[in-house]
Amino acid sequence: MRSMMSLGRNGVSRDKVHIEKQGIRAIIGPDCWNRTVPQDCQISLEMTTNFSKASQSDELRYSLNYAVISKEVARFVDTNKDYKTLGKLADKVLHHVKNKYLGIEKLALTAEAQEAHIRAENIRLLIHAPQEHPYTDRLVISGLKLLTLIGVFTFERMQKQYVTIDIDVPWDKHSDSNINHQKVIQEVVSFVEASNFKTVEALVECVAHLALLQPYFEQNRSAAVIVKVLKLNAITATEGVGVSCTRTLADFSGKEVPKVGQSQFLSEVFDLPAVQVTPVVSGKPSVAYLAFGTNVGNRLANIQCAIDLLNANADVIVRKTSSIFESEPMYFQNQPQFLNGCLEIETRLSPNDLLRLCKHIEYEDLKRVKEFENGPRSIDLDIILYKNGNGEDIVMSTADLVVPHPRLIERTFVMEPLCELVPPNEVHPVTAEPIINHLNQVYEQLNDEDVLCKLIPLPKINGADRFLKFKNKLIKDTVSGRLTAATVSPTLTMGIVNTTPDSFSDGGKLGNDVSSQLLRIKEMVQDVLSLNEQVIIDIGGCSTRPNSAQATLDEELERTISLIRAVRACDSLPQEKVILSIDTYQSEVAQQAIEAGVDIVNDISGGKFDSNMFTVLANNPAVAYAMSHIRGDIQSMSKLTVYDSEDYNEDAVTEYCYGHEFQNKDSTTLIRALARELAVQYKGALDMGVKSWQIILDPGVGFAKNADQNLDIIRSIHVLKNYSVLKNSEFVNFRNKPILIGPSRKKFIGNITGETSAADRDISTGSVASACVGYGADIIRVHNTANCVKSIKMADSIYRQTRL
């Protein structure tokens, strides 16, 4: 009686005897070179039996003798006989062994052939006797190694990579229409190697569909195919990563047969396919992001004109502009440099209608002439991203338009300005990875000379373009390991010219004589230009020291406008290198100073003291604006130095630094409160039409801050420079904003050094200026330019050249 110890509940034995990969040679049809010759094969047997008596008695005669069976298999297979297929060989061996050895209750046989096809690692057949269920016998095409264009990253789109594919299909020895593995391999190879995929999920689905087109599946519609795809070089420290799926014909009901993808051959340009979707939500405006580029004519005027033309359309509102960046031509090198940036617009136009508007602006309004692809252009407007009224990303591909833009993630001059407009958690709708991650990945591969310059446009002089230029590169923080931005461009020196009788430091020193004031400016220009390529002269006609009496509008105008005109009329000054700034919080003074020739409005109130200031700046997009942080007014600010953290747990607020969510260790409460308050003013300026490219940030050292807070601000310049906040879906971003610091001769320096007279603090100011350079300041405002410019130059050499 059979031992019940070796039987399962259904009476089937639980014991098995194995023969693994016994080598044989047989003719099983054409080999990989289409020769009908014996091939090396392997046979594996899994024999279900009951060897309980053998295990108890330790006698081999009560079990299956695998040595005998192995010899029998070798004897049975005739090396010179043509079995026609691997399936017929396997079936004959299976039934011979099962019939000859009565102790075998169930037999599973696997036959493998390594030479059956040149593209596959092996062809494997698994069959059973008896076959308990339909489709349990399987044919497996294993390790089909192919080259294809797959992935969503820039480097993946520019070079094909290896994938391996396993195709597992049913095998029926009684069917006349069994799967022809040669035909399956041919069709899969032809399709995959000529196609273009973003994901292995799409690839595995297409291969499954192709395999199911075999006639066998029409007769066996419930039969399933299993496909597994691995990308071999996708992730380091792994042999491969990928996916598998199980599909039947029913899964593809009504679906078109897979066709060769968009990129049949490897292209030298980035190509990311997308699918067509219905984009617009009725009754709700969409949000789109446009990239602009211009390199001929009056480039800034081209950009502003394009913005005005977009706004002139009843279905478009330009909500935000990015900074402007200077970039080298990307494809055709022999042409002028580009000015690039991005716009965020609200629109009721569909993507295709928006495209038509952009093209009309390019070719009809701004008369773009396209002599050849990627050549010079007056303006180029590209749709980068499009979100419908529900905030859903639109992914589409037509002959005329692909959204998201197929080359978005290879172009720093698009991603950099785009990352100013979208939060750090904004995910690319195709790659499913934050856009800022793509930008960082590209930057890690760039040479220093390829890092973009951020530009602040200035009014032209003698028809020549003038800009302030700032460059930041990514470096890895040695403590956190995170990528952070470091300033590498030279620090600019801003020389202070006070025309007031009551300035805290040098009030009345220059008197009211324009000639003596002009002479002092010439000295300052000579001081700075001996070491730098540009100099900023900041002319002020109203003292802003705490509790000071404020000049009337007429007094301020009288003290400043005639001097500005005299500077611009002076032939001995290199006008294109002299950047004039007006230190005022009054919009009328700013307006008249702009008309007289200033390039920068330096407003200690950040637009709080005069509601018309932002309007003046919005009407003059080529004039820079230094926006300072302050609390209260001239009389009350010294009492407003408490910066609480009680509101920092708001659920609707997310703060970032360098694109990472803020951690408590990233900064003090002061900097976060200051940055939040400055962000409110910044957003207010943008809402009034001031362009992002105009704005320079000033944390307001000495204004509503005590001595320790001033030091904390200096230590946190790099934090403010890369602060951003997302509140109730409103995003404000200071990404790599130029920072102006004005520490010169201020009281907090005297508190440390014991210098009671402001005029005695120049050496100490030079030390503070050097520290500001180290922490990332871009412009430093000083009284004594002769000495401070040397300190700044030395600090640049120490801190910034080491980052190049």
Catalytic residue set: 368, 377, 380, 382
Residue 92: Cβ within 10 Å count: 16
**What distances in angstroms separate CA 554 from CA 302, 542, 626, 670, one per listed residue?**
37, 11, 23, 37
Write the single-letter amino acid at 500.
T
Write the single-letter amino acid at 252.
F
- In whole angstroms, what separates CA 252 from the centre of its chain? 35
How far apart (Å, rounded) are the C-alpha atoms in residues 282 and 510? Answer: 65
Residue 188: Cβ within 10 Å count: 21
Residues in Cβ contact with 128 at an 8 Å cutoff, skipping those fewer than 6 apart: 106, 107, 108, 109, 136, 137
Token couple for 682:
């910044």
How far apart (Å, rounded) are the C-alpha atoms in residues 422 and 610? Answer: 30
**For residue 547, is it left (φ>0), alpha (ψ between -120 and 50) or beta?**
left
What is the SS3 assignment for 474?
A: strand
Q: What is the DSSP letter of 130?
A: S
How far apart (Å, rounded) are the C-alpha atoms in residues 409 and 411? Answer: 6
Residue 138: Cβ within 10 Å count: 18
Q: 336 preceded by cis ω (within 30°)? A: no
On whether the CB atoms of residues 16 and 47 are closer than 8 A, the answer is yes
Of 639, 638, 582, 630, the closest CA to residue 609 belongs to 630
How far apart (Å, rounded) are the C-alpha atoms in residues 64 and 427? Answer: 61
**What distances in angstroms separate CA 473 from CA 123, 322, 736, one per listed residue?**
53, 18, 10
Element (H, E) at 20: strand 15-26
Residues in Cβ contact with 391 at an 8 Å cutoff, skipping those fewer than 6 apart: 287
Element (H, E) at 365: none
On whether the CB atoms of residues 769 and 779 are closer than 8 A, the answer is no
Write the single-letter amino acid at 563.
L
Write the single-letter amino acid at 768.
V
How far apart (Å, rounded) are the C-alpha atoms in residues 609 and 285? Answer: 35
Of 745, 751, 678, 679, the closest CA to residue 709 belongs to 751
What is the SS3 assignment for 179?
A: coil
How far apart (Å, rounded) are the C-alpha atoms in residues 291 and 301? Answer: 16
On whether the CB atoms of residues 207 and 227 are closer than 8 A, the answer is yes
Q: How many CA atoms lie within 13 A of 431 on its CB side?
A: 25
Of 297, 291, 441, 406, the closest CA to residue 358 belongs to 291
How far apart (Å, rounded) are the C-alpha atoms in residues 654 and 727? Answer: 7
On whether the CB atoms of residues 642 and 706 are closer than 8 A, the answer is no
